Amino acid sequence: MTRVSTALGLTALVILVNALFGSPFTAPAAAHQPGTQSSKLRLEVESMQPRVVTEDASELAVDVKLTNTSQQAITDIRARLQLGQAQHTADEFRQALTATAPMDYQLTRFRRLTERLEPGQSFRFSVRADLRNGDDGFRLTDPGVYPMLINVNGSPEFGAVARLAAMHLALPVLSAPGSDEGSGGGDRTPVSILWPIASQPRVVSAPFDGTLVLADDGLAEEMRPGGRLDALVAAAESARGNSALLSSMCFAIDPELVSTAVGMARGYRVASGGKTVAGSGKADAQAWLKALRTLVADQCVLPLPFARADLSALSSVSPSLAKYALSHDDALSDALDVTVERDTLWPQNKLSAGALDAISGADKSVLIGSVPGRPGGAPVTVTSNEHSHRVVPYDPLVALGLSPASASPEVAHNSTLAADDRAVLAQNGVAALVFRARFEQTNVPGPLLVAPPRGWSAPVAELKWMLAQIGDLADADIVSPLPARQLLRTPAEAETRPASDGPITPSLSRKLTSTISATNRTLGDLNKAMTEAATQQVTPADVLTPLRNGLLRAASTALPGDQDAGASAAADVERQLSRLVGDVTIRRPGRTISLASGSSPIPVSIQNDLPVDVTVHVTLSNTTGLRPGAVGDQKIAANSSLNLRVPAEALRAGRFTVDVSLSTPGGTVLGTPTRFRLASTEYGVITVIVTATAGGALLLLSGRRIYRRLRSNGAGRE
């Protein structure tokens, strides 16, 4: 069982460097809501104005699209807005971000939308609330952050009226509408931003000096204008006009994504129906890489683990492979021509003691994580297994507000959050930032680090809106952009917090980790058997690195379907490995080999089609009537063949079959065994000697017997 060594504090305070898709907190149980049914309507917010309320606002308007996702018609559909009270503590706001906050502080009247909505049909409508003390609105007399609910009721066939859809949002109010009073004075809160640029691994194979093959063309779609990856780059580029805001951003980039994009820019193929077809995204990859280089030039850049591999799972089966997942900094610096923050890491899952050891072995001393009890502020020092790490905490409330599917499991599952809706995806995250910076009763100790999910997917307009809002908050003296490099270099507090051990639930199946471990051992053995060819200038690492990278993809936390996708990626590596070891093989003789004498050697020709030298061990199977001699390890030059004469002795005349096989000195099988057919008409020298000796012994025994008989007969005549 792996051990968690990221528990911090006097009572095992754990560093939650886990995926941001899960809540950093445990949400309290939600109150049961009578009449709430399972999802029958899909509610999508298409626009919301205003999204941050100031004194100029007079009306709140939300445009909504409603779709009947059930198999029955729904009648008497009505909607209204509901508002909770302004939040004051982190615990209260956590309830708002997990859809469990009370929502009956202020209510608008239900508005009838349509009499009937058939299965599959959609309907667009607007819900509005007067913000200046109108008859059907909200009284926002005090600045703050308010939880808000879009509530849709209806009557399914054969059912009673019930809540059929709901969207939970947080509404920041910087100043009361119609008032000259703002949110009050106070110190500006320093803010830095992590900007993740990563995607799901799609590489099927990327052989050395071969063609890149992807599982699908999804990356090309993400890199095209309007795609997810294009949006991340374009939105960040929009901040260039605000130098302070841009400098506050640190771009967390997956080296696997950049390496794949470089391969795509050279030309690639896509697996399709058992064959491969030309990929469509060569130009898109070239354009996207160019835009990314321009964006990150002279900016803060830190590498994610290659393919967002699960470091704890890898360290449990191969510490060297876990360390290898952290050794791809050059893939970023070379491809993007940028200086990388090589000592800094933003891991995704909880870290075991072995993972922390691998991180130390890779010279990573600065970790970014969520530290309970520390929403921000100066880094803390964590020690484990004689290693120390400086942990820069990100804000868990902002992260929760930006994370989809964060509603408490206790809430009826027809409730969604702003982060689940692309049009308002950043609404709750910005609201959380406003809450932390201005309205939380407990002062946040120092700077706040905004850390969105690594697989963030949002339209470019929404990403631009979020960055623009942070810029507006800076103009309003609520936040102050803090250069990301400065935050990462902030000294840790004087106190040192020891890490403690504890159980950690494996994210990968035992079967998958066993496959990864076995394949990695084989790659290690092959590496020992290979040497660089003087004429080829190709190293064993050049040949084996694509396969090791494939193992990291198999351990990725970004793969959909988790175990099945990981097993598929591991199977791809096994197939590539099979083809690689098949490039060193024995040429099959086209005829029966006649042994000229009983001790004639067997001619064996070995072909090496790899671009590196390989040392092999030749083995002949045990065959009755044939005694093979010993053959030492043989070194075969790259892209060449070697003719051996394997000593063997025929123990009898006749025909033989013998299987000749190859392996590395460490035992990894190379190629496939080849059957040789042999014919011999003579006995070997040893056989003749043995036969002659046996014949001589027989003559001696016969002579002795005759002598004794004659002697016995002579004695009888006397």
pLDDT tens for residues 133-163?
A: 777 899 999 999 999 999 999 998 877 888 8
Q: Which CATH number is correct for 41-173, 3.40.50.1390, 2.60.40.10, 2.60.40.1220, 1.10.10.10?
A: 2.60.40.10
- The two three-digit tokens of residue 425, written as one number: 């995806």
pLDDT at 9 over 80: no
Q: Which helix (H) or strand (E) segment is 432 a member of?
A: helix 427-434
Banded model confidence at residue 708, pLDDT cuts 50, 70, 90: low
Kindly report which listed range (8-17, 45-54, 371-380, 418-427) carries the lowest average pLDDT score: 8-17
Q: How many CA atoms lie within 13 A of 594 on its CB side?
A: 3
The residues that bridge with 328 in the sheet, in sequence order, are none
**What pLDDT is recorded for position 179?**
81
Predicted local distance difference test score (pLDDT) of residue 713: 62
Mean pLDDT of 675-701: 62
- Cα–Cα distance for residue pair 20/557, rounded to 1 Å: 12
Closest Cα partner for 460 from 122, 614, 234?
Answer: 234
pLDDT of residue 211: 94
Which residues lie below 8 Å from residue 598, measured CB to CB, with a gap of 6+? 649, 650, 680, 682, 683, 684, 685, 687, 688
% of the chain beyond a pLDDT of 70: 84
For the chain, what is the mean pLDDT?
85
Digit-coded pLDDT (tens) for 234-285: 999 999 999 999 999 999 999 999 999 999 999 999 999 889 999 999 999 9
Look-up: residue for tokens 């070697």? 642
Read off the pLDDT of each residue in 399-412 and give the average, rounded to a whole number. Answer: 88
Q: How many CA atoms, within 13 angstroms, populate the side-chain half-sphere of residue 606?
A: 30
DSSP string, 44-83: EEEEEE-SSB-TT--EEEEEEEEEE-SSS-EEEEEEEEEE
What is the number of helices (H) and of strands (E) in the chain?
Answer: 18, 36
Give the domain 584-683 fold: Immunoglobulin-like (2.60.40)
pLDDT reading at 466 higher than 80: yes
Q: DSSP readout, 336-365? A: HT----TTEE---S--BHHHHHHHHHTT--
Going by C-beta distance under 8 Å and a sequence separation of 6 or more, which residues neighbour residue 539? 532, 612
| pLDDT above 90: residue 376 | no
Handedness of CA 307, 311, 314, 320 (dihedral sign): positive
* pLDDT score recorded for residue 300: 97
Please answer whether residues 92 and 103 qualify as being in contact, where contact means their C-beta atoms are separated by less than 8 angstroms. no
Mean pLDDT of 342-350: 90
Tell me the per-residue pLDDT of 583-625, one tens digit each, with 9 for 90 and over.
Answer: 999 998 877 777 655 567 888 999 999 999 999 999 888 777 7
Which residue, chain included where needed, has tokens 């599959």? 120
167-226: pLDDT as tens digits: 999 999 999 998 876 555 678 999 999 999 999 999 999 999 889 999 999 999 999 999
Q: With CA atoms as reference, report the closest residue to 449 among 482, 400, 423.
A: 482
Please state at what angle helix 427-434 crosses helix 460-475, rounded to 10 degrees.
10
pLDDT score recorded for residue 496: 60
Highest mean pLDDT: which range of 154-158, 372-376, 430-434: 430-434
Q: Which residues have C-beta within 8 Å of that of residue 674, sequence separation ≥ 6?
A: 585, 586, 587, 588, 589, 659, 660, 661
Judge whether residue 572 has pLDDT over 60. Answer: yes
Determine contact, residues 75/155, Cβ cutoff 8 Å: yes
Domains 41-173 and 584-683 share a fold: yes
Q: Determine the pLDDT at residue 598.
A: 55
Q: Say if residues 74 and 200 touch (Cβ distance below 8 Å).
A: no
CB neighbours (10 Å) of residue 1?
8
Lowest mean pLDDT among 169-178, 187-196, 405-414, 544-553: 405-414
On whether the CB atoms of residues 649 and 686 are closer than 8 A, the answer is yes
| HSE-CB for 85 with a 13 A CA cutoff | 5
Instruction: Locate the domains of the chain by residue range.
Output: 41-173, 510-580, 584-683, 688-718
CA distances from residue 326 to 22, 313, 349, 386, 452 in whole angstroms, order as listed: 24, 14, 14, 20, 21
**Burial (0-12, 13-18, 19+ Cβ within 10 Å), 68:** buried
Query: What are the structure tokens assigned to 128, written together?
Result: 């509005």
Separation of alpha carbons 618 and 584, rounded Å: 12
The H-or-E segment that residue 522 falls in is helix 510-529
